[in-house]
Amino acid sequence: MSAELAGYAVSEANSSGRRRAEESPGIRTEFQRDRDRIIHSTAFRRLEYKTQVFVNHEGDLFRTRLTHSIEVAQIARSIARALRVNEDLAEGVAYAHDLGHTPFGHAGQDALNACMKEHGGFEHNLQSLRIVEELEEHYAEFDGLNLMYETREGILKHCSPRNARELGELGRRFLENRQPSLEAQLNNYADEIAYNNHDIDDGLRSGLITLEQIESVELVATHLKVVREKHPGLGGRRLIHETVRRLINAQALDLIRTSEAAIREVGIETLEDVRAASRLIGFSAEMHAALQPLKVFLREQLYWHYRVLREMAKARKIIEDLFDAFMNDPRLLPPQYLARCADDKPRVIADYIAGMTDRYAMKEHRRLFAIPGA
């Protein structure tokens, strides 16, 4: 595959490599090895029981962080292949991009960030990096996964100037306004394409939104119309899926064509050209505009639906209660976390809480606060 890579793709030849030198992985490429390390990590398996939008116990068919990440990887690989950049790198970044998410999705992240306000804050993206750099305990000779520079760069999507200064080499691009690889750039869009579309599907499945409501979004209505014309009388799940697959396809194709044109127009030839140029991956102005009403619709009708908000309010309470209980008495922590508390108690507590799955957090809350027989 590497023979077909474009000159501006990340490759082993132009990579900045690993922090710790390791023996060559043999039959795999270095970026395949990274992807495999991520799949075998503990944090990756936890994604199965972490909320995307719907709390895990609400239904077996809703997306979880794990199935979301797999969908992101599928879309990222398709885009990477079309642009002739490094598919293995794009896939690895996709699998790792949400590793640092707390239980209960964004409500959990916001609650933990508020708890950590006086202690450096909590940011799920930075936590993803922390997991692969420090927290995974898999290897005899080092902490974390010792991933390639470009994989770590792709995981760190955004970063405050303060955090960027602390991160050194990896944070520099945020201070110098340089771009990451195309593989990293395309992952942000693969993430967006995945959730905008699977949230339509999950929203309809949950009954919190209806097909009639979502037809008010022109982009969705356009594709629904095509499906209805081609398959008169089609309804139910098939009608939804036929529409959603067309939506995904249209967005991915638009992204590929627009990005290809930008790469050509700027005359990009090398990875260094990519880093020095302005952002090359993106939707056309038309697609960007067409997506805005969809995002507004999903926010107002789904993410802010009172039934979703009720779950999120409970989630916030669970996170706050756990954080306060451990801060007030760290001896309530499992011994391996208590042992690390001497270094930085709030951060160790945040690591413990962030690593929890939804159901583990609920169980831990019961173990700490439920009074038997009451």
Which residues make up the interface to Mg ion (CB under 5 A)? Answer: 98, 191
Q: How far is the CB of 247 from Mg ion (least distance, A)?
A: 17
Can you name the residues that pair with 51 across neighbouring β-strands? 64
The two tokens of residue 77 are 């690989």
Q: Cβ closer to Mg ion: 105 or 355?
A: 105
Q: With contact defined as beta carbons under 8 Å apart, do 116 and 122 qualify? A: yes
Q: How far is the CB of 101 from Mg ion (least distance, A)?
A: 8
Q: How far is the CB of 274 from Mg ion (least distance, A)?
A: 23
Q: How far is the CB of 194 from Mg ion (least distance, A)?
A: 7
State how far the Cα of 301 lies from the Cα of 295, in Å rounded to an integer. 10
Residue 24 parent element (H or E): none
Q: Cβ closer to Mg ion: 117 or 158?
A: 158
Q: Cβ closer to Mg ion: 75 or 318?
A: 75
Burial class (CB in 10 A: 0-12, 13-18, 19+), 119: middle
State how far the Cα of 102 lies from the Cα of 108, in Å rounded to an integer. 6
Q: With contact defined as beta carbons under 8 Å apart, do 323 and 110 qualify? A: no
State how far the Cα of 355 lies from the Cα of 50, in Å rounded to an integer. 10
State how far the Cα of 47 lies from the Cα of 103, in Å rounded to an integer. 9
SS3 64: strand
Q: How far is the CB of 192 from Mg ion (least distance, A)?
A: 8
Q: Cβ closer to Mg ion: 191 or 202?
A: 191
Q: Cβ closer to Mg ion: 76 or 361?
A: 76
Tell me the residue nearest to Mg ion as measured from the CB. 191
Q: Cβ closer to Mg ion: 66 or 263?
A: 66
The two tokens of residue 262 are 């930008």
Q: How far is the CB of 351 from Mg ion (least distance, A)?
A: 20
